[in-house]
Structure 1
Amino acid sequence: MGKIVVSENISVDGVIEDATGDEGLGRGSWFTWITDRDREEWAKAEIAEALGADALLMGRRTYHWFIARGWTTRTDVWANRLAAVPKYVVSSSPLEGPDWSNSTVLKGDVVEQVAALKQQVDGEIVVYGSGSLVPTLIEHDLVDELRLMTYPIVVGAGGRLFGETSLVKPLRLIETRTIGSGIALLTYQPVRDA
């Protein structure tokens, strides 16, 4: 059975939107505030996570974000791994533009499709970004692990990872790790017996 792992770059105040400033929201580019050393350590952690992934799950906007930034033509270890793994894209409309190898669109009810995907894939199904998809997965208890790459910055505004839920969603901290000199990688698992 598959394990849904949400992997997010997130500010201390929970913002996940526009980390690189590409979306032009005025408070982006907080990713660029980290040092070169931190960025190198971050990349090592991200590559290791990609090498451990058995599949990727993402929303349509995140899928297009990767394509627009050249991930379909890059040839480094990280990009090659992401190209090789199956990619499942949640989209209510057909994908437009260039294709990324090994991509499948999940159509229909998101909760049913992702639950079925967990039965089909053996191993880690990593979810990058996907700010609209992740809250749905959390709400329906489909997330098995949260890996929050937490940046030492308060953004103050922007799309946040966590919004309203129908119930309290308790989590258990299972690992903390410092990335570089200032990023905290916090890993949580849902407490389902609470």
Structure 2
Amino acid sequence: MGVIKAHEFTTVDGVIGAPMWTMDYEFTDDMGASIGELTGSSEAIIFGRTTWEESGPAWSSRDMETDPGAPFFNNTPKYVVSGSRTDAEGWNNSHLLGAYDVDTITKFKDGVDGGIYTYGSGTLVRALLADGLLDELHLYVFPLALGEGPKMFPEGSGRTALTLAGTESFSNGVVHLTYTQPAS
């Protein structure tokens, strides 16, 4: 059975949307190694529609010389969760899973041996958390508060219990918090 690991860049006040604000912080080697551990242990990538549509053009134009993460993102099988798309054409090795459905995601997880990586895809990650399908939540917390924007846990989303599984800090001030969901 696959293990779904989500990585989110977030501010200290929980904003996750379009993280252009990360550009103010150097992407350090230690942070790159941390994210590299997540991608390196993954056999598949699962995306929400918006993140997949935005990521495809950005990653498909990169190669190993311009970005060491490019081979992972371009060659790894990608699965898109979307009820509005009719195909997943346009980015190498992409497949459409269809609309979000617990049974579909469970069958998908059962069919993957190893890690399943996701980033961004806030709506998908929140649904996976709510349904107990997310195995690890990796929050890369930037030392910045924006005061507004889409949040990982928006007001009214209800209680979400998590267990701290690891921490690390980087030379650029970013902190990596790893959470798992408590056993039911």
The alpha carbon displacement at 1:55 in A equals: 0.8
Report the secondary structure of 2:164's partner residue: strand
Q: How far apart, CA to CA, are the structure 2 residues paired with 1:154 and 1:143? A: 26
Q: 2:165 aligns with which of 164, 174, 185?
A: 174
Q: How far apart, CA to CA, are the structure 2 residues paired with 1:150 and 1:63? A: 22
The residue aligned with 2:3 is 3
The residue aligned with 1:150 is 141
The residue aligned with 1:73 is 61
Report 1:26-175 matches (<5 A).
Answer: 30-34=21-25, 36=26, 38-69=27-58, 71-76=59-64, 77-94=68-85, 99-163=90-154, 164-165=156-157, 168-175=159-166
Count of matched residue positions in the alignment of Structure 1 and Structure 2? 180
Q: Structure 1 residues 56 and 149 mapped into 2: Cα distance closer, same or farther (>3 Å)? A: same
The alpha carbon displacement at 1:110 in A equals: 2.4
1:139 and 1:165 in contact (8 A); partners too: no
The alpha carbon displacement at 1:40 in A equals: 4.2
The alpha carbon displacement at 1:16 in A equals: 0.2
Q: Which AA in structure 2 matches 1:180? A: S
Q: How far apart, CA to CA, are the structure 1 residues paired with 2:35 and 2:86? A: 26
Which deviates more, 116-125 or 156-165? 156-165
Q: Which AA in structure 2 matches 1:42? A: M
What RMSD over aligned residues (CA atoms) do the two structures have, in Å? 1.9
Q: Which AA in structure 1 matches 2:135? A: D
Q: How far apart, CA to CA, are the structure 1 residues paired with 2:63 and 2:57? A: 15
Identity of paired residues, percent?
A: 32
The alpha carbon displacement at 1:93 in A equals: 2.3
Give me the TM-score of the superposition, normalised by structure 2: 0.89
Q: How far apart, CA to CA, are the structure 2 residues paired with 1:186 and 1:109? A: 27
1:67 and 1:98 in contact (8 A); partners too: no
Q: Which AA in structure 1 matches 2:148? A: A
Q: Which AA in structure 2 matches 1:87? A: K
Q: How far apart, CA to CA, are the structure 2 residues paired with 1:116 and 1:150? A: 32
Gaps of 5+ in 2: none
